[in-house]
Amino acid sequence: MINPELLPDFLIIGAGKSGTTSLDHYLSQHPEIFMTRMKEPDFFGYETIDATKLFGPEKEHYQRAIKTIDEYQKLYLDAEPHQKKGETSNTNLSSPLAAGRIKHYVPDAKLIAIFRQPTKRLFSRYMHLHLINELPTPEFTDVLDRESVWWHRKDLVPEGFYSRNLAPYYDLFPRENIKVYLTEELHKDPAAIMNDIYEFIGVGPYDEIDFSVISNKSGIVKNRFYDLTLGSNSIIKKAVKAVLPESFFYELTRYPQIKKITQYLNGINLKPASLDPELYQKITTEVYSEDIKALEKLTGKDLKHWL
């Protein structure tokens, strides 16, 4: 049975590696906002999907996702009556089914999208996969091969087609129910962006948010042994995650002090990586330029600097 009191008021709909984790972290600190303890429940993207067509990491992602409305509504049981409820799932953007399922369950939902220049987003994804030893192919130049896995996995090249992925939301929801931000706007003035979001979802201003934590920092690992003991692939982290309920583990990782400690432990073992300017321009021009122009028309955002 569907209980409207146990459904979200707003949703962060992506894209990955663009600041969704930071938005989730900042929103969870506001006393008038309840964010689900489980980040990325992915219910709307996976509820009605044909799982037999999934492969690789997406199949693993599906297995840990919430797939029934009863289980999804349980995520909101701890919300206070006065709180606005929300969650963050990047599959809300990358799944072609999500917009329709959100409209079905939460027709008046407020929708928040944040986008990073798509070539930069893709390189950040590559560096993250490099960090966790899960590269789909060895070289980043492989993204130019349209027959490669980079074009078939939704979280790789396709997730950067923001206009294509966002358009169904404009077809189904009033324009005033959709807010679009750029990653560079969040980095430049996080307080201003958050205050705009607070007004959008209907809560009061709040000036005690800790903006000091940089979420999901990536780079080149200096020492693999350190990484396996204290870093991002730490056996300690994996052991704790294995024994704790998933909702409690994610709630634990929300605490700013814990996030700062893990950020420090991860950061000292990483060195920055940069994308070759010529390759950056080639990918932007050959892969994403038309979608960037379409996104500019769709949202009214000035994106010329992305080109």
Could you list the beta-strand ranges (E) of the chain.
Answer: 10-12, 33-35, 84-88, 110-115, 178-182, 220-221, 270-271
Q: Rounded to an integer, what distance in angstroms lies between the CA atom of residue 38 and that of residue 248? A: 8
Please report, rounded to a whole number, the percentage of residues in the chain having pLDDT higher than 90: 67
Predicted pLDDT at 259: 60
**Domains, the chain, ordered by start:** 4-212+290-306 (3.40.50.300)
DSSP-assigned states of every residue in 244-300? S-HHHHHHHHHSHHHHHHHHHHHHTTEE-----HHHHHHHIIIIIHHHHHHHHHHH-
Q: pLDDT for 38-86, tens place per residue?
A: 889 999 999 998 888 887 788 888 888 999 999 999 999 999 999 999 9
Note the pTM of the prediction, 2 decimals.
0.84
Pair 138, 148: CB distance under 8 Å = no
Q: pLDDT for 266-288, tens place per residue?
A: 556 555 678 999 999 999 999 99
Q: Rounded to an integer, what distance in angstroms lies between the CA atom of residue 186 and that of residue 197? A: 11
Pair 69, 105: CB distance under 8 Å = yes
